[in-house]
Structure 1
Amino acid sequence: MISIPQAVSLKEIEAAYPTLSSGQTLRLPMSLKFGGGVGVTGSLIQLSAEWSRSVEVPTLRLYGKETAAVAEAVAKEPHSMAAAYFASAIESASGEAITTRDALGDVVARIAAMQSGRFRETMHGRGAFLGSFSRAKNEFLIPLYSRPELGAVRSRDEFITLTSRIIEACAPGAERHMDDATRVTLGTLIYELFRNTDEHATTDEEGRPYSKNLRAVMAKFISYDAKTAATHLGEDDPRLSFFLLHNIANRRTSKKGAEERWQNSQFAFLELTVLDTGPGLARRWFSRRQRGGDKIETMSIAQEVSLVQECFELHATTKSTAGSGAGLSYVLQTLQRLNAYLRLRTGRVCLVQDFSSPKNEASFSAQHWLKEQPELPMTAGACYSIVVPLSKVLL
């Protein structure tokens, strides 16, 4: 059995991949410590998808002992909702079988909240989650799609409004103080990323529909105390730690009286996640080049990174429809405007980039998350975890 601890780290998630093919049962906690670090929720969803495609009868075991407790656990966090969706069987902590209908009982309310725009009720904690579960009755969520069909993603302007409402659910103070330019930038970022997932995430590299698949948008409000932040960040992602600490150290100074100055002890960030469990960027881009029977696994990691980079270049796209292109290249521009941090897990790579460094133009110059381990296990889809600093006046 593969067991995921409550305080799971990104490195521990990666270490679980080699055991997937022999781990029929996956055990998940009801909640994550501190809500999970940056990228943890998305990484767990990718792990669940890859696990479900690696074993014959993927069985999810949760810590609840009774059916009601299991249903509560499933609906509490996005990673548990996704795992229950990908699983073929669900068990209580004691190993007692629970029907999918009973296990997903509390998820119905979450989906209803997604459909009706009550975003504060879509997940536990200060966050919002919109998940399009393929082949489900409510796959095409009203906030994301204008019609219940692929390709009917709502317009850029509608996504700008949607993103503002999602942020308002997570951090109402931040949204109230946000200027229109920031709203447009954030909304456009989510629009471009989700639109890019709409087509390439629903079929594998050979065009065959997945039996189970997920496309999702998530936002989480996270804050750190300036005095203790360093002790909580850890070494899971040194570049992210530097990014966070740099922003905390340079938080805005305010006047108090004629000469006295002070800094808020708290600094807030917004974590935006757009993910899918399709073939991933490089695999999709590679398949469109029609290189005979070659598979991406035969390529070097440097070549795979090069393919990912091509996806971000001007007019490159992993989509096959007319009029596509320039979406991911525009994402780079918005990330730079937001002084954001990007973590991208796709295929066999995890790439990170700090866009807060002054540059003349936006470019994709991401580095491997783990320098000592550039090649990671193959994972499902692509997960963009984006951290945006919020100034003191937005709290």
Structure 2
Amino acid sequence: MATLRLSDDVDPEHAAETLVSRTYGLVAASFADRIIGRDGRRDVTAGMLKVISHRLSELYSGPFDRMIHGGSLPLISIDHLERRGPNPFLYNPATGEVRSDFLGLVQQALMRLISRNRLRRQDIDAELLASLFKELFSNTHLHARTDLTGALYRRSARGIVFALRSVDLPQETFAADLIPLREYFARIAPLSTRPRVEFLEVSVFDSGPGLAARAKGSAISNEMPVEQEYDLVQRCFLKNVTTQSDPAHGLGLPRVMLALKSSGGFMRLRTGRLALYKWFPPGIDQPRIGKDDLRFVDEDGGRPRTHAGVAGTVFSILIPTGLGS
């Protein structure tokens, strides 16, 4: 049984609201079987469910200005708490299918985030972004709601989180110890006419079995060599590789890589025991995806190695929103 305890480093009157205002806190609270108060003893599960319900109502029906928290705009779907149907920002309310057109959604999100940072919308290729997010979210819809036997999870969630990040280049603090990110910023810096660059940061996440397990059709054991798990994940990015019987599937992740290369973006992929990184410099003419483009590195720039195992998959992407004056 999963138990969650509220933190004692937040104002007690706002501890619950503070937790669920953050996407990770909302998901964690939604998945908990039992929630304990700040004192470490009192069961506050019933009260927390009311707070969670209120926040989900905001995220499923409220204006974007009320949904934005700390510069981030979360668009999520939590299946087991959707008594009125899936999130209408992500799904067609009439059919329950993933929206066929994400362009309007992306334009709305960009308009609200950009207006807060005085950026120009024409600096961002909204159509390319809409295609990127549609492919990633559709992938989570297909692969994250059911376990490896095809049974629906008792609890499952997926979503897209938009944010804008200002980075002063060259930047060491933001990159931390991630060598791929440091290399990416170093490549961006000479292309920018100003020291501060705005990046659109987008995370697409799900609580499913993970890419390698889905590709293999069974759970990944700790005894499996990490190189084999990496090979399974890498296969997901090859054309016409799919776990679906429909031949129309199998193009999603290759299209994601093409969109990433076209936009000169950076990606971190966390799934299973892997933390993988890939980046492309901006300004590539007529980009195509070759074999080398599907080679990922670890945080030190070397070959993928074993990290602590996680459930689900998270794609975190940075895209420069305009390098001109």
> Could you give the per-residue CA deviations for residues 186-212 of structure 1, whole angstroms, max 9, x where no partner exists?
000000000011021011112222111
Could you tell me the TM-score, scaled by structure 1's length?
0.73
Offset of residue 167 of structure 1? 2.0
* SS of alignment partner, residue 233 of structure 1: coil
**Structure 1 CA distance for aligned equivalents of residues 139 and 219 of structure 2:** 24
**Structure 1 CA distance for aligned equivalents of residues 94 and 311 of structure 2:** 24
> Is residue 2:247 matched to residue 1:306?
no
**Counterpart in 1 of 2:154?**
211
**Structure 2 CA distance for aligned equivalents of residues 294 and 61 of structure 1:** 32
Q: Is the 8 A contact 2:188 2:281 kept in 1?
A: no
Which of the residues 88, 91, 96 maps onto 2:36?
91
Offset of residue 343 of structure 1? 0.5
Unaligned runs of 5+ in 2: none
Distance 1:65 1:218, change over 3 A: closer
**Counterpart in 2 of 1:142?**
88
Distance 1:327 1:222, change over 3 A: same
**Structure 2 CA distance for aligned equivalents of residues 282 and 322 of structure 1:** 20
**Structure 1 CA distance for aligned equivalents of residues 196 and 19 of structure 2:** 32
**Structure 2 CA distance for aligned equivalents of residues 138 and 129 of structure 1:** 19
> Is residue 2:140 matched to residue 1:197?
yes
* SS of alignment partner, residue 40 of structure 2: coil
**Structure 2 CA distance for aligned equivalents of residues 106 and 124 of structure 1:** 16
| CA RMSD across the alignment | 2.6
Which of the residues 288, 308, 313 maps onto 1:361?
288
Residue type of the alignment partner of 1:119: F
> Is residue 2:269 matched to residue 1:344?
yes
**Structure 2 CA distance for aligned equivalents of residues 323 and 232 of structure 1:** 39
Which of the residues 201, 206, 209 maps onto 1:279?
209
* SS of alignment partner, residue 283 of structure 1: helix
Offset of residue 347 of structure 1? 1.2
Q: Is the 8 A contact 2:169 2:189 kept in 1?
A: yes
Offset of residue 184 of structure 1? 0.9
**Counterpart in 1 of 2:249?**
324
**Counterpart in 2 of 1:100?**
45
**Counterpart in 1 of 2:189?**
248
> Could you give the per-residue CA deviations for residues 41-83 of structure 1, whole angstroms, max 9, x where no partner exists?
xxxxxxxxxxxxxxx3423332367763222222221111111
**Counterpart in 2 of 1:36?**
none
**Structure 2 CA distance for aligned equivalents of residues 346 and 294 of structure 1:** 13
Offset of residue 104 of structure 1? 4.2
* SS of alignment partner, residue 197 of structure 1: helix
How many residue pairs match? The answer is 316
* SS of alignment partner, residue 368 of structure 1: coil
Residue type of the alignment partner of 2:60: Q
**Counterpart in 2 of 1:374?**
305
- Percent identity for Structure 1 against Structure 2: 27
Distance 1:159 1:67, change over 3 A: same
> Could you give the per-residue CA deviations for residues 232-284 of structure 1, whole angstroms, max 9, x where no partner exists?
4321x1211221243234312xxxxxxxxxxx342111111111010011101
Distance 1:138 1:167, change over 3 A: farther
**Structure 2 CA distance for aligned equivalents of residues 108 and 119 of structure 1:** 17
> Is residue 2:210 matched to residue 1:269?
no
Q: Is the 8 A contact 1:280 1:380 kept in 2?
A: yes
Q: Is the 8 A contact 2:276 2:304 kept in 1?
A: no
Distance 1:88 1:347, change over 3 A: same
Q: Mean Cα displacement is larger for which, 129-138 or 369-378?
A: 369-378
Q: Is the 8 A contact 1:221 1:271 kept in 2?
A: yes
Offset of residue 174 of structure 1? 3.7
> Is residue 2:175 matched to residue 1:233?
yes
Q: Is the 8 A contact 2:169 2:185 kept in 1?
A: no
* SS of alignment partner, residue 229 of structure 2: helix
> Could you give the per-residue CA deviations for residues 145-180 of structure 1, whole angstroms, max 9, x where no partner exists?
113776x0010xx2011112112222234463246x
* SS of alignment partner, residue 367 of structure 1: coil
Could you tell me the TM-score, scaled by structure 2's length?
0.87
Distance 1:345 1:390, change over 3 A: same
**Structure 1 CA distance for aligned equivalents of residues 273 and 210 of structure 2:** 9
